[in-house]
Structure formats: structure tokens, C-alpha cells
Amino acid sequence: MPKITELLPDLPYGPAPEDAAAALTWLDAHNRVFSAYVGGQWVACPSTFATINPADGTELAQIGQSDAAIVNQAVESAQAALPIWQALGTQRRAELLYALARQIQKNSRLFAVLETLDNGKPIRETRDIDIPLVARHFYYHAGFAKIAESERFAGYGPVGVCGQIIPWNFPLLMLAWKIAPALAAGNTIVLKPAEFTSLTALLFAETCTAVGIPPGTVNIVTGDGSTGAALVDHPLVDKIAFTGSTEVGRIIRRATAGTPKKLSLELGGKSPFIVFDDADLDSAVEGLVDAIWFNQGQVCCAGSRLLVQESIADAFYAKIRTRMATLRTGNPLDKAVDLGAIVDRTQLERIGHLVYQGVEEGATIFQSECDLPSNGFYFPPTLLTNVEPASTVAQEEIFGPVLVAMTFRTPAEAVVLANNTAYGLAGSVWTQNIDTAHDIAAQIKAGAIWINCTNQFDASAGFGGYRESGFGREGGQEGLYEYLKPLMPTALGVQGASLPKAPNQDRTHKLYIGGKQVRPDGGYSFSAAGHEFALANRKDVRNAVEAAAAAQPAWANQSAFLRTQILYYLAENLRAAHGQLADAGISQQEFEDSIGLITHYAAVADKYDGAVHQVPLRALVYTRNEPIGICASFAPHGQPLLGLLAATMPLIAMGNAVIAIPSAENPLPALELVRIIEASDVPAGVFNLLTAPHADLEKTVAEHLGIDSVWHFSGTQGAMAIQELSAGNLKQTWCLGDGQRFDEPHPEFLRRAVQVKNIWTPYGA
């Protein structure tokens, strides 16, 4: 009698299809035609389009194409519902979020099957990953709904009406990531699902009605990009949250530039999967299966770039090929299938085209032999080796089941290759050496790092990108802030620029770059407040960026304790310069407030801790509040000393290097500050000062690829220019509008001075 383990290798798979009857009955109950969900009602759209089952190409239903009028109706409903939703209070809102979680659990099989039908992803994933994560998200945020008005979120309030636009790769999960925190924070919603995958959002709409969410609190407008654009452009929308392609992210950045709309973008990625020679290679292979073949590779944080240490590369590739041969691609409703269908023919063609291009550029291709169904959109698991770091397939997001592999020799080279991308969404590090793991995790520029694991998500840990992967976080406390706005007083305590008492001797003040006072490149000056100031130009911006780039890594790596000491010393030296600052026109009040402000950031520089998140997994998940890098800051015109300090000290305290552009109406106090900074042990290049009318430098600063973030506090016109012009490189921006107060420290200043990285380390002996 053979043992079962001897039989297993040759045992054929029999199909184990999930029954789709309940989902099809639900579609039939709607006559397979759907409308928009507005104000708690179904509202017919002027036209419809087909949604297809990608597993076999058949039509599932007709979906309403919402036009601008329907979007308008939905936004107005959301606005009307805002006071009703907020008046319910934290307890009732928490109960309703809990009720949503319970209903999703109760109907989890229906949601899972419908998602698989509409998207083509395997039922194993929708049933065991997507839907449980959706329920967890609503549970977790029911908790935030209860405490959203507590001391923990003091100084913040709801944003208002949130416009949310989501992609097709995780339709219901992305809906949950958007809707749960928005509701918890006290906002109302208009959500647009992706045109390929609207069905589970419509089933969710019914769930909202069933649990008693007040009409208008959640509105779902189906449609294509034009529906999304109408939502982005609507003047009554207070916040846009978008997940999707970087290209559309840029369009939305431009469209919202200069408006008061809050914006968060979760865009593409090309995440590294780094395998060191001391890794547990069999675990790493399983990790790769999850990294790149989960959801057919249609995952923004897919570990799509394998970086493997040269000494083990061939052995590791061999293991991958062996594993690939056992992956099963086919009918996504089959419970024994690993890969399902690609969402749409256009995506399938895109993947094929990119793979062809990769081979043309010299890559070696390996595809597992599998019988793909003849109908529907399928692509086999694919491995590309011999790939050059600069080649198209190593740089572009393929968004399909395609792994590209490269080798490295040293840890330092691994870091350089890992960061050789415009993106920064995630990274995965495989090594048994704890020193290597955490050292590399700290150096990868990405919002989520998975050590000896990959594609881990939880409602308690924020997810989001660095660089062109976007900005903002979803999940965790860091994610809730995306749906809150800082409550800062709007009237200025002391308005207008202070002016110097008496003109100084006739001399042109210089710029301050890399710890030195330097003449401007162009040799020109401008007059302000009775003085001549060096006129900075593009070349000076470039020089300042170089100086900041040389100084910033060391500054970021200094202990926060050292940064604290330097800021205290700066405050002390500022006090000693009372006379010069009074001559520069600084009032006694502004002077005292300035010292208070520096002391505040000295006090908090070593106290703005990260957190350890409580994920339902044996894993240590910790948050690092990392500096953004090189930040340019346009200071406000009112209160030239205090404004400049408010626009720079939080950034410096958190380990950024700053290029400060002081008030152009009276830059004199800024020049005095330079002398104090020179005497206060601030390392050269950490604080740079460029004087010029702000409009002269806005374009250069916004477009400079070396500048990671821009703060703009000197007027709406300039803020709009910065946001529009930085859409190409998607740098983070923070603009305080006219009349908004900057003179009192607020937690928002620190939040904007860092980006959150979550590092996951599972454990188990």
C-alpha cells in the first residue's frame, strides 16, 4: 500500500469550482442593469456600459455611466448629509461602522464570488484575503469613529465631503481603505469605483442602506475617467483620495493645484525584492509567489524587481523555475487555482507588449508551461533574467505576473539598485541576519518594508508611498489624518511685515549656501525695506540643492538628541541677538514668539516617536517617522522672523535639510538669523537661504528633481504654481493659504515634516 506522500506528486488536480449561483441571482435581481447610488437611492444614468467577466469574456451586467449632473447630485447629497452624519455623534457612528463590518462578514461569500466574477482574481484570494481584510478595516475604524473626537486627535476635525476614486485591482478592499477612515473621521463620501469592477461597490451600497447609514453619507457614482474628473473638479468636494496610475495621479495633482482640496495619492510602484546569500531560500521563493503572482501581479506594491546576491543567483533562479512549474493558472472560481484572469483585454495586451519589449532589450524569458483557458484574458507566470537596471521592464510598472531579475554583489549595491526607481511604495528584504535586515530596511526609500515576508497589510499599519508612488497613508493613525484637517486659527495675531527701524549701511546682503555667505550667481540684487538683497536665480537653487544633498543624510542620521541640543543653542543665541533683530524691525512680541517657537521644536525633536502597531499576526510592525529629505520653504510675508522659523524649524528638527526663501518684503531679519545659525553648530548645508521675490524661484523649485518637498506659506497664487508645476515629479507640497496662522506650533507641522515608513518583521522560532 503506497503512502499518501508517495501518491501526491502524481495525483491530478480535479476542478473544485465555487458555486456562483448566489452572485448571479443577485445580478438577476437587478435585471443586470445598475444605476448610481445617490442620497440612498438608485438614480438612473444617461447611458450604460458593459462589465465583463475576464475569466471568459462574457458580459455580467450593464453599469451606469454617471455624468457631471449625477456627480453634482451626489456631491450635494454628501454635503447635505454632513451635518446629519456629524450630529449622530461618535458612539452611533462607531456602531454603524461596526454594523458594516458585521454585514460584510455575514455576506462574505457573496462578496468574494462577485469580486472574482468581476475582476478575475482567484476565489482563494477574494475569500481568504480581500474580504477578511475589508471586514477588519471596518472593525478597526469603528474604533477610530468612537475616539475621533478624543484628546488623541486634538487640534483636528473632519475635512468635509470626500471624493474617492479607486482602481480595479482590489475593488472592495480599496473601497474599504477609503470609506472606513473617511466615515470614522466624520466625513461624507462620493466614491467612484473603477469602470472594470463596479459590482462589489454596488453591493456595498445596498449594505449601507441595510445597516441604516443615513442617506447621502455614502454615494457611489459609477463611470469611467470622465466621472472621476467631474468629481475631482467639483467645487464642493473638500478632499480627493485617489489610487491608480501615476499618470492619472499627475492629472489630479494639476486639477486640484491651488484649490483648498486636500489630496492623497496612492500610485504605482516597482518594488524591490532583495534576497541576500544568507536568506532562507525556500521561504524566499514562497515569498516571491506572494510578491509577484498574487492577484496576477496586478498589485501596486508587487515585488516585481528581484535583486538577488550574485553568489546564489543561479541556484535561486533554478528554485524559482521549479516552483513556477507548479503554479496553476485558470478559472478563478476554481479553488485550486493560483492565478486567475487579467482584468481586461487592454491590460493583457499591455503586459504582452512590455514583455516583448523586455526580450527585445536583451532579457532571457522563462514562462511556466500551463494550459491557459481559450476564452478570457490569461497570462502565464513569467520570469525575465539578464535584465539591465535601466531597461524598460526594470523601470516601468508592468502590472502583470512578470518578475524581472537582477543581481548585486554587496549590500551597498543592493540599496543603490533598490532605490534606482522613481517609485517608492514598498520593499522586501530576505536575510537571516538581523543587522542586515534592519540596516537595509532603513535605507530603502519606500513606505512599507517587509522583512522575510511580503505583501502584508493590516488596518492598523499605514500604507503609502515615497517619491512618485504618491503621498498620504491609508490605514493606522497615520491614515486617519488624511481625513482630518488641522484646526488652525485663521486670523493673524500680528499682521503685515515688520519693517526695519532705520536703513543700514549701504551694502548688498548675500545668499547663504552650504554654510557660506555667497554672492548670487547672476550678480544682481533687488531692493526691499530700504536694503539691497542678493537676487537668487536657477543656478543658486541648484547650488543650494547640492549643498543640502551633501548635508542631509548625515543630519538625518544624527541622533534626535543632538538635533535637540542644536536647536536649544539656536534659541539661546537668538536671545543674545535681541538688539540686531530689533534694528531689523522685529517687535518684542515677535522676538519672544520666535524664541518660543525654536524652543518648542527643540523640545519635540527627540519626542516625535514612531509607533509599534498591533497587527493580528506574530510580527513586530514599527513605524519610523523618516525625514522627507531636501525641502524648500517659502516663508510667509507677515512677521518675517517668526514666519521663517515656522517654515523651517519643524523640518530641521525632523532631520531634513532646508532651502529657505524668506519674505521678499523684508528679508533683513533672515540675514540676521543666518549669522545666528552660523554661530549655533547647525551643520553646513542643513539651512540654506536664498533671497528673491518668490515668483522668481517658484518654477525652478517646483520642477527641481532634487527637492523632495515644498512648503509654501506666502500666498495662494504661488501655492497654485508650486502644486501645478510639481505635478510632473509629484513632490509633496504643503501650502498655508492667505491669512492662515503659522505663529503657533501645531502637530501638523511635524506631520508634514516626515514620511511614515512601516517595517514588518514576522517572528517565530
Interface with ligand NAI, residue 555, by CB under 6 A: no
Interface positions, 275-304, toward ligand NAI (CB under 6 A): 300
Give the nearer residue to ligand NAI in terms of CB position, either 397 or 696. Answer: 397
The 3-state DSSP composition of the chain as helix, strand, coil percent (nearest 5) reads 45, 20, 35
Please state, in angstroms and as integers, the Cα–Cα distance from residue 463 to each residue in 267, 468, 510, 755, following that order. Answer: 11, 14, 43, 11
Query: What single letter denotes the amino acid at residue 463?
Result: F
List the x/- string, 432-451, binding to ligand NAI by CB under 6 A.
--------------------
Backbone angles phi, psi at 530, to 5 degrees: 80, 10
Q: Which is nearer to ligand NAI, 194 or 653 (CB)?
A: 194
Residues 45, 300, 453, 631: which is the catalytic one? 300
Site string for ligand NAI, 111-150 (x = CB under 6 A): ----------------------------------------
Q: Least Å distance between CB 405 and ligand NAI?
A: 20
Length of the chain: 765
Looking at the Cβ atoms of 164 and 680, the one nearer to ligand NAI is: 164
Q: Within 644-703, which residues bind ligand NAI (CB under 6 A)?
A: none
Provide, rounded to whole angstroms, the least separation between the CB of residue 232 and ligand NAI: 5
The identity of residue 161, as a single letter, is V
Using CB under 6 A, pick the residue from 165, 179, 190, 586 that binds ligand NAI. 165
Residue range at the interface with ligand NAI (CB under 6 A); choices 92-100, 162-170, 401-409, 655-663? 162-170
Q: Which residue has the cell 504605482?
A: 268
Q: Could you tell me the smallest distance in angstroms from the CB atom of residue 268 to ligand NAI?
A: 5
Binding mask 382-421 for ligand NAI (x = CB under 6 A): ---------------x-x----------------------
Q: SS3 letters for 457-508?
A: CCCCCCECCCHHHEECCECHHHHHHHHEEECCCCCCCCCCCCCCCCCCCCCE
Rg (CA), the chain: 27
174-203: which residues touch ligand NAI (CB under 6 A)?
Answer: 192, 194-195
3-state secondary structure of 335: coil
Q: Which of residues 318-347 bind ligand NAI (CB under 6 A)?
A: 347
Side chain identity at 615, as an amino acid letter? Answer: V
Work out which of 167, 376, 462, 655 binds ligand NAI, going by CB under 6 A.
Answer: 167
Nearer to ligand NAI among residue 205 and residue 671 (C-beta): 205
Instruction: State the pairing for strand pair 402-408/382-385.
Output: parallel
CB contact at 8 A, 469 and 440 = no
We find the least distance from the C-beta atom of residue 116 to ligand NAI, in angstroms, to be 18
Is 266 an active-site residue? Answer: yes
Nearest residue to the partner ligand NAI, using Cβ: 228
Binding mask 198-237 for ligand NAI (x = CB under 6 A): --------------------------xx--xx--x-----
CB 187 within 8 A of CB 145: no
Binds ligand NAI by CB under 6 A, chosen from 55, 173, 185, 248:
248
- List residues bridging with 274 in a β-sheet: 307, 429
Number of other CB atoms surrounding residue 662 within 10 Å: 32
Least distance in angstroms from the C-beta of 134 to ligand NAI: 16
DSSP code per residue over 355-404? HHHHHHTT-EEEE------SSS-----EEEES--TTSHHHHS---SSEEE
How far is Cα 716 from Cα 277, in angstroms, rounded to an integer? 53
Site string for ligand NAI, 28-47 (x = CB under 6 A): --------------------
Question: How many residues touch ligand NAI (CB under 6 A)?
Answer: 26
Determine the Cα–Cα distance for residues 120 and 295; give it in Å rounded to an integer: 9
Instruction: Assess contact for 521 and 655: CB atoms under 8 A.
Output: no
Q: Closest approach of Cβ 448 to ligand NAI, in Å?
A: 13
In angstroms, the Cα distances linking 14 to 11, 371, 381 are 9, 14, 21
258-277 footprint of ligand NAI as x/- string (CB under 6 A) = ---------xx---------
Which three cell numbers, joined as nine digits, stand for 414?
543592493
- To the nearest whole angstrom, how small is the minimum distance from the Cβ of residue 527 to ligand NAI? 45
Q: State the Cα–Cα distance between residues 728 and 699, nearest whole angstrom.
A: 12
Closest among 501, 500, 499, 519 to 509, alpha carbons compared: 519
Query: Taking contact as CB under 6 A, which single stretch among the options 246-254, 374-382, 413-421, 650-658 is the one that binds ligand NAI?
Result: 246-254
Select 395 or 580, whichever has its Cβ closest to ligand NAI: 395
Work out the angle at residue 99's Cα, subtended by the Cα atoms of residues 93 and 101, and round it to the nearest 5 degrees. Answer: 110
Q: Among 15, 120, 4, which Cα is nearest to 336's?
A: 15
Q: Which of 72, 116, 119, 169 binds ligand NAI (CB under 6 A)?
A: 169
Active site residue 301: no
Q: Among the options 266, 397, 590, 724, which is catalytic?
A: 266
- HSE, side-chain direction, 13 A CA sphere, residue 242: 27
Residues that bind ligand NAI (CB under 6 A): 165-169, 192, 194-195, 224-225, 228-229, 232, 243-245, 248, 251-252, 267-268, 300, 347, 350, 397, 399
- Active-site positions read 266, 300
